[in-house]
Structure 1
Amino acid sequence: MSESMPVAWHIGTRSPDNGGNCVEAGPILDGSGRVAVRDSKDRAAATLVYPAAGWSAFVSGIKHGEFG
């Protein structure tokens, strides 16, 4: 992902408040619907980018307990 591409980052709601194992995700603000995901402890590391449909399926799976 290009460093110049703006992302509206949000820390995961299940991440601890003490800065522990946190994941940040947010929409890429280019109108594509893609979502970027990164480790909040190492923001300079690789950022994963998911297409809108893939991210939606992942979130739906989490909500329905498919990964538990």
Structure 2
Amino acid sequence: MSSSNPRLVSAFSPSPCWRRVAEMKAQGVFKGTVLLVDPLKLGLAVNVFVHAFLQQQDKHSLEVFISVVQRHGQK
């Protein structure tokens, strides 16, 4: 559904439909907003998923891990 034309799935014309969406938003009906990014338009042609394990789950270990990842990204 296009965000510019929500009436494609409703019986309302655009103005009443957007008013209803605004009312529902004000009432807290929506839990959030989703924006989908086109990775190709950002020059991101590859997705990488990494699953890392730390020997210890403490603040210091996490800081070391983040530091190593950041240094690696700057090479």
Q: TM-score range by the shorter chain?
A: under 0.3
Q: How does the TM-score come out when normalised to structure 2?
A: 0.24
Structure number with higher relative contact order (C-alpha < 8 Å, ≥ 6 residues apart): 1
Q: Determine which structure has the larger strand proportion and give its number.
A: 1
Which structure dedicates a bigger proportion of its chain to helix? 2
